[in-house]
Amino acid sequence: MQVDQVDNMAASKEHRHGANVARMKGKFIARVVFTITGALLACPRIHAASRAVQVCVRDQSGAAIAGASISVASSAQRFETGSDGCATFDVMPGKAIKISRTGFTNAAESIGDTARLTVTLHAGVTEEVDVTAARTPLALDASASSVRILSSTRLEQASGFTLDDDLRQVAGFQLFRRTSSWVANPTTEGTSLRGLGSTAASRTLVLNDQVPLNDPYGGWVHWNEIPMLAIHEVELMRGGASDLYGSSAIGGVIDVVPVVPDHAGYTVDLSGASEHTTNLNGLLMGSTGRWSALTAASLFRTDGYILIAPQLRGPIDIASNVHSQSGRVELRENIGTNSNIFLLGNLLNEARSNGTPLQTNATRIWRYIGGGDWDIDHESRLLVRLYGTNQRYRQGFSTVNATRTSEKLTARHRYPSEVVGGAGQWARSVGTLTLVAGADAMDNRGNDSEQLSHISLSARQRSEGVYGEILWQPANWSVALSSRFDHFGSFDARQSGGVPPVLPDIYENVFDPRLGVVRKLTRTLSLTGSVFRAFRGPTMNELYRQSQVGQQITLPNAQLKSERATGFELGGLVDAGHLGSIRSSYFLTQVNRPIAAITLSSTPTSTLLERENLGQLTSKGFTAEWELRPASFLSLVGGYQFAVSTVTKFQPDPSLVGKWTPEVPRNSATLQMQFSRHRIGTLAVDLRTSGRQFDDSANQFRLDGYAQVDLYAEHSFGEKWQVYASTQNLLNQPVQAGRTPILTLGPSRIVMLGLRIH
C-alpha cells in the first residue's frame, strides 16, 4: 500500500491492520496444515482451472518421438508420449513442463491457452548423465562404467520402506546379510556390489552431494539418514572408483543425489503397513529472488518381526523393531546463472531392538554441510564442500542360553565419534578435452566406552587425497585417464582399563590409476573397456572393537592393513532408440589382503570369529541390464549378474582357498514390469531372485536361494492426490537371511497402503 493511500485511510487503519494480521495468521496456519496433512490441496478452484492439453513431441524432421518423458513442475505428474508422439493430460494453464528423451537434448515449455502444444527436440546427448563415474556430467553412452540411475519416480514405485529396499531393483546389490535395514542391526548394513561381498564395513562408497555417508567408525551405512522426499535420484556405478574417490570405492560408488530447492512446492506421503508400521514423509520448498530453502522429514516406526526361525525360537526372542526420525534443512543463494552457495543440516535419530530384551542400539547423527558451485566462465567450474559429523551410537550385547529361555548382559558400549572434512574440485572444458583436478581430506576421531568392564578406547584416523582426470572426447570416442594419491593413517589409539593391548600407528600411501575407453561403432552400438586399481582402509570398528550379532562374536585386529584391488571390465551398450537400451559387461576384480571374519571356534549356539587380512579373493563374472519400452504403456527394466567370487590365496589356512566369498550368490536377477495409463494409473510388478550363498568364510553355514514377487499400484485423483498400495513378498516365501549360527529369516508378506499429496 502506498503512503498517500495509507494517509487517506487513517480512520480505518487499525481495523484493516487487525484484519490483515488475522488473514496472515490464517494463511500461516493453512500452510502448516498443508505440510502435515495436505487437507487443503483439493481446493475446488484449483481443480476447476485444470484442463486437458495435448502435448506432441517431434524431432527436427517432424517425425513423432514415442516414449518421451513429460514432467510438470511442482507436481508429481509424469507422462510419456505414445506411438504418435503425443500425450494428453489435465494441467493448469501457466504450468511449466520439461520434455526429455534419451538421445535428444531436453526442452522446457509453458502451458498456454491452446489445447495442443507441439515441442521439437534436437538430437544430442542423452538426458541421463553419470555424475558418479567422472565427478563431472558425462553422458551414459560416453561412460566406460556400468551405471544404473534410479529416478525419484522409480524409487517411489518400489515396495520397500527404506532406500536399501529400493536399491534391490539392481541385480547384485545387497546388504551384508539379506535382511532389510528396517529390521537389521546397523552393523550389518555394509553394501556389496560386483560380487565382492562385505563385512560390517561396506566395500562400496555411498555419497550424498560429494559427502561420504559411510559410518565414520564402522563403515556401514545408515540407509534411513536422508529423508526419502529429499532424494532426487540415486546413481550406482559398479567397478573400482578409488581413482577419484579414494577409500571404500572398491565395488563402486552409490551417489544419493539430493533434491535442490528451485521452486515453491510441497509433498506429503503417509502410509501404513503390516507389523504395525507407519511412515510419514514431508517436503516443503520455497524460493524468492536469489534465495531458496528446503525442509524435509521422515518419521518411521515398525514393531518389526521376530528374526529367529520359528522352529528355533524361545521365550527370550522378541520382534526386531525400530523407531526413527530424520530431518533436513537447507538454505541456498543463487549468485549467478549457474552459481550458488548453500548451508545444510541433517539429523538422524533412531532406536532399535535387535531381537531380545537386552540387545538394543540407538543412533543419533548430526551432519552439517556447506559449500558452493561456481561457473568461473563458460568453460570452467569450481566446487567446494566443507562438512562435519557428530555421532552418538550405543549398543548392548548379551549371551542367550541354549534353550533361548534367558539372556545375560555381557557388554554395553557407547561410541561417540566426530568427523570434519572438506573437498574441492576444478573442471575445465577445452574443445574435446575436459580437465578435472581436486583434493579432499577427512579427520575422524572415535571412542569406544564399555560400561560394564570400565574399559575405554580412543583412536583417530585421517586421510588426504589429490586426484586428476583427463577426459578426451573426439568423434565416436571417449577416453578417460584418471589417478589419485592417498595418504591414509590410523593412529593415537589408546586403551584405559584392563590389559592394554599393542595398538600400533599404521600409515599407508596408495596410488590408484584408472583408464576407461568408449568406442561408438554405430549410432546404436558402443563398446566399452576399463582397467583400475582401488583400495579400502580398515575402519576403527575392524581395528579396535569387539562386535556381536546374535550369538556370533567377532574380535578386532589392530594389525589390519588396507585392502588393495585391481580389476578390469569389458562390455557393450546397445541403444535401441525409443525401444530402450541394453548393456552388458564382463568383469574381474582381485582384492589383495581382503578383511574377513575367520572362524576360530563354533558350537551349535555360538560362533567366535576374528578379523584377518586374507591373501586374496577374486570376483569375476558377467552382468546384463536392460531398460526396454516395447509399448507406450509398458516398460521392462531388469538385470542379471553371474559372479564367481572365491578366496584364491590364504597361506595361514589353505583350506579356505576355493571357498565362496561370504554373502555372495553366484546368480542374482531382477525384473521390473510397469504398466501405466494416465486415466487408470500404474501397476508395477517386481521380480527378484538370488541363488544360494554362505554366511561364513569356511562355507559351513549355507543360505538357500529364494525368489520374491513384489507389487505396487498407484492411481491419481486430479493433479495433486495419489493413492497407492504395495505388497512385499506376495507369495510369502521364506528368505534365509543369516546363520549366526542360529537361522534368521527375512520378512514375510508385508501389505502397505498410502496417500501422497503434492
Residue 275 cell numbers, joined: 507389523
pLDDT at 560: 94
Banded pLDDT at 70 (limits 50, 70, 90) = confident
Phi-psi region of 679 (alpha: psi -120 to 50; beta: other; left: phi over 0): alpha
pLDDT at 596: 84
pLDDT at 132: 41
Residue 76 above 60 pLDDT? no
Segment 149-170 mean pLDDT: 89
Instruction: Name the nearest CA neighbour of 36 among 286, 267, 227.
Output: 267
CB 326 within 8 A of CB 346: yes
Residue 75 above 80 pLDDT? no
CB 292 within 8 A of CB 334: yes
Residue 619 above 80 pLDDT? yes
Q: Which residues of 270-290 are buried (b: 16+ CB within 10 A; e: fewer)?
A: bbebbbebebbbbbbbebeee
Residue 266 above 50 pLDDT? yes
pLDDT at 40: 32
pLDDT at 170: 93
pLDDT at 34: 40
Helix, strand, coil % over all residues of the chain, rounded to 5: 10, 55, 35
pLDDT tens digits for range 378-425: 778 899 999 999 999 999 989 899 899 999 999 899 989 999 999 999
The SS3 of residue 492 is: strand
d(CA 487, CA 493) in angstroms, rounded, equals: 18
Residue 1 above 70 pLDDT? no
Residue 39 above 60 pLDDT? no
Residue 336 above 70 pLDDT? yes
The SS3 of residue 37 is: helix
CB 739 within 8 A of CB 253: no
Cα 253 → chain centroid: 10
Segment 295-300 mean pLDDT: 97
- Alpha carbon distances (Å) from 278 to 180, 320, 755: 16, 15, 12
pLDDT at 146: 84
Dihedral sign, Cα of residue 23, residue 24, residue 28, residue 31: positive
Residue 36 above 90 pLDDT? no
Residue 84 above 50 pLDDT? yes
Segment 301-307 mean pLDDT: 94
How are beta strands 433-450 and 455-472 bridged, if at all? antiparallel
pLDDT tens digits for range 337-385: 789 999 999 999 999 999 999 999 999 999 999 999 998 877 788 999 9
pLDDT at 102: 59
d(CA 199, CA 465) in angstroms, rounded, equals: 25
Banded pLDDT at 59 (limits 50, 70, 90) = confident
The phi and psi torsions of 134 (rounded to 5 degrees) equal -120, 0
Banded pLDDT at 179 (limits 50, 70, 90) = confident
CB 746 within 8 A of CB 178: yes
How are beta strands 693-694 and 681-690 bridged, if at all? unpaired
Q: What DSSP letter does each residue of 203-230 carry, written as one string?
A: SEEEEETTEE-B-TTT--B-TTSS-GGG
pLDDT at 45: 36
Segment 96-116 mean pLDDT: 77
Residue 331 above 70 pLDDT? yes
Share of the chain above pLDDT 90, in %: 55
The phi and psi torsions of 251 (rounded to 5 degrees) equal -85, -20
The SS3 of residue 141 is: helix
On average, the pLDDT of the chain sits at 86
Residue 15 above 50 pLDDT? no
Segment 672-679 mean pLDDT: 89
Instruction: Name the nearest CA neighbour of 124 among 54, 65, 53.
Output: 65
Residue 27 above 70 pLDDT? no
pLDDT tens digits for range 703-751: 999 999 999 999 998 878 999 999 999 999 999 999 888 999 999 999 9
- Alpha carbon distances (Å) from 511 to 250, 421, 443: 14, 21, 20
pLDDT at 77: 66
Instruction: Name the nearest CA neighbour of 660 among 705, 692, 612, 704.
Output: 692
pLDDT tens digits for range 243-261: 999 999 999 999 999 999 9
Global confidence as pTM? 0.83
pLDDT tens digits for range 607-616: 888 899 989 9
CB 438 within 8 A of CB 424: yes
pLDDT tens digits for range 436-495: 999 999 999 999 998 888 899 999 999 999 999 998 989 888 899 999 999 999 999 999
pLDDT at 25: 40
Banded pLDDT at 138 (limits 50, 70, 90) = low
CB 530 within 8 A of CB 516: yes
* 249, amino acid identity: A
Burial degree of 446 (CB within 10 A; 0-12, 13-18, 19+): buried
The SS3 of residue 384 is: strand
Q: Which of 206-210, 275-279, 375-379 has the highest mean pLDDT?
A: 275-279
Please enumerate in sequence order all residues whose Cβ is within 8 A of that of 5, keeping only pairs 6 or more positions apart, or say none.
none
Residue 199 above 80 pLDDT? no
